[in-house]
Structure 1
Amino acid sequence: MDCPRSNSSTCSSGATVNLTCAEPLRLVGGASRCSGTVEVRVRGEWRRMGPSGVGDQQVAAAVCRDLDCGSAVYGEHRDGFPRIPVWEVRRDCVKTSPVRECVFGSRLSSSEGVGVVCSDSVRLVSGSGLCSGSVQIWDGSWTGVCDGDLDQRGAEVLCRELGCGAPSLLQGALSPLGQTFHCEGHESALMDCPRSNSRTCSSGATVNLTCSEPIRLVGGVSRCAGTAELRLRGEWRRMRPSGLWNHEATDAVCRDLDCGFAVYGKHSDNFPRIPVWWVVPDCVKKSPVRRCVYGTGRFSTPGGVDVLCSDFILNRPIISVSVSDGASELQPQGVRVQLGSKFRVKCSVEPQYPGGSFRLLSPAAPPAQNRTLPAVNHSAHFLFSDADHAHKGNYTCVYLLQVFNHNFSSQSHTLQLSVGESDSDLIIRVVVILLLKLLYILPMYYYYCKVRARGGAVERPQRRLRRVQT
């Protein structure tokens, strides 16, 4: 109203001017307006934002949102600035309100600040977290990437640009002939890729992308078991809790890994002393782990977290029988081995995890005496000699593996083993029995014929005598 005015008029309904002002917020000292150290202007004065502590990632998300700079790639605590008064900001407030509205103090002097990097020209919106959503790019305004405009290599570039892991789901038709982005995969940003065929998408026709969270479990026997590591600013570091690590925090790690639910999680100080990413356990219960990092991670520590998730599974072992002497025969019910032969039961499993052992459940010994052998090259061999009828019955292999003092097992199908003689032995046995029976019957038959012949010779003279008398 200090400006000179002219042409005063009354506006009809709906004909008023709409205005959007930039938030009194900026990032200074970075490579672009979307990266640098956070400064806020309050009461006409620009000041550095004070140390955010546990809210680095939440503040980064709020700053990128207020600056319309896409998605937050990371936020970090920084030190070494001149010690001057800074603006203090409530961390919980910035989740839903502009940063300027969350300033609550101005007396604090500090040499610390908050550094933020935003994705600048690309973002994922309306997703379940930082690494999923509908793809939008900045082209003077935020516009959706059309279905079919992004292929797998473009998705990999985009996920990397956002500080996320590899793409795990790309919803939308992949049409190389009609795509807009022609990425080779090595680009640092999606907008660095050659573009063509730019078009406006109809409602609901945008690409939806899900990138994996930048978290992993290493040193274990599967991707769902091991020591937790997190990638921030392109660097993988061990994850170190800043407070009490509990089951809910472990469950959050398994959630971000898409590994089911938590089975075991424990913090220990038995790791090499190296720089780590400090994580707030209470934060990870409700937010992606990446959002819960605070500090620069410059301090070395031996701390870390071992995690075991429910999607850690064992392959089903395979059971088979072979005979070293004698013969065996496959039958619909199982295997038949020759009586008195030596046979071997093999338990094996497809290569999946190192180590473990096999236990053979068999009728040849009471359950307490069932033998257990270590897995060598993912298999074990159980030897039996002089097969007899005590060896017949059901055999089962059980694969055993211990992870973080937790025992896991997987059981094979049941193999039925019978013990008997070979076909040639049976034929010989039948022939011998028949010969013995024949040798037994022939004397009796000879004696019978002889007796009968003698009886007939006595009967004939008596008949002649009766005829003479008659």
Structure 2
Amino acid sequence: MRNRKQEETLQFFTGFVFSLVLTSSTFTTGQIRLAGPRSTSCSGRVEVFYSNAWGTVCDDEWDITDANVVCRQLGCGTALNATGSAHFGQGDGKIWLDNVRCSGDESSLTSCGHNGYEKHDCGHSEDAGVVCSVNLPKPSISTGSAEVTWGQQVSITCSIAASPLSGTFILRKTSGSFRVTRSSDSSSATFNIPKVTLDHDGEFKCQYEKMMSSQTFTSPFSNSVRLRVSLERPIISLTSPDGGLVWGPGGAEVTKGYGLSFTCSINPRYPQGDFSLIFSDSNITETRPAVNNSASFNFPAAEFEHQGNYSCVYEVTMATQRFSSDEAEPISLIIKSSSLLLVSSVSSGILLLVLLVSLAVCLRCRRKLCSKQPIPSDQNQSLYSARDAL
């Protein structure tokens, strides 16, 4: 009697062997497949099943007529390109066919003329491939820099593994109407944007088109690449209309009570936007529209609460999207006491002290004089008379 574990094991191996039998029985001599890196169901390295093994085809005399037979046999339409030199990577194992010579009417590749199986003078570096019309391979897309500043140049490259000749690459933006085409005789095309603007901010995709017998065959879209366009940092400056500004090692020093003015400016090529003055020591920001690409923020009289770090940001609204620049290099503001007020306070203090000292000296001297000089008798008598009269 078998236990349950033995039964499960037997069922597993029985099913596994049965699966192998079914799998191997699905391949018959003369079948073909497309393989290799970046291959699809209708583009790739051509491989033939013969003598219970898959093998490749040499690219000697390999042309579009041979490729057409392969594409038709696979149900992939017509051939767009017959590739050589192991374009879809090198195979391994056998090289079954060489010097294939199809007339174009054959139902299968193995029905075409050739040297015979495994009769060749090739290496796998000469493996042949096809690109069929029904399923063009998916292109790839890349950009030199995903983040660029307004006005900079950016390049976006589209490429396709199959490299069908004389095709057209299409660069599209996933939102908006941006669409640029470029014809190419190679497997790639580069789209140069000399000066990016905020309109170029977003995602881009590539597509490939190939004209064949008055028909247009189109590949799937590539994956998207995100291009971020930012604004350059504005410039912030500080002036004092009253002349109370001095630049010191710690930053800008403005005398208390004097007027001061911050000015934010940006490159004139930018569109109309708003400047925001940012005070680092407070959550309060002040925003003003740009006039001639600048804006001024005025303080009539500097107070000690104005002391701190100041910067500014430029913002532009395009459609429903808002773009903000990085903060400008900050200015450190120090408020100092007025020197005239200090001198006046010191002078007043000294004068008051002198007056107090003088008064004390006078009082002391008066006491001394009064104690040392007796009043004459006649003067005493007068004083007494005056007192009695009162």
- Which TM-score band applies after superposition, normalised by the shorter structure? 0.3 to 0.5
Task: Using structure 2 for the length normalisation, give the TM-score.
Answer: 0.44
Task: Using structure 1 for the length normalisation, give the TM-score.
Answer: 0.38
- Bigger Rg, which one: 2
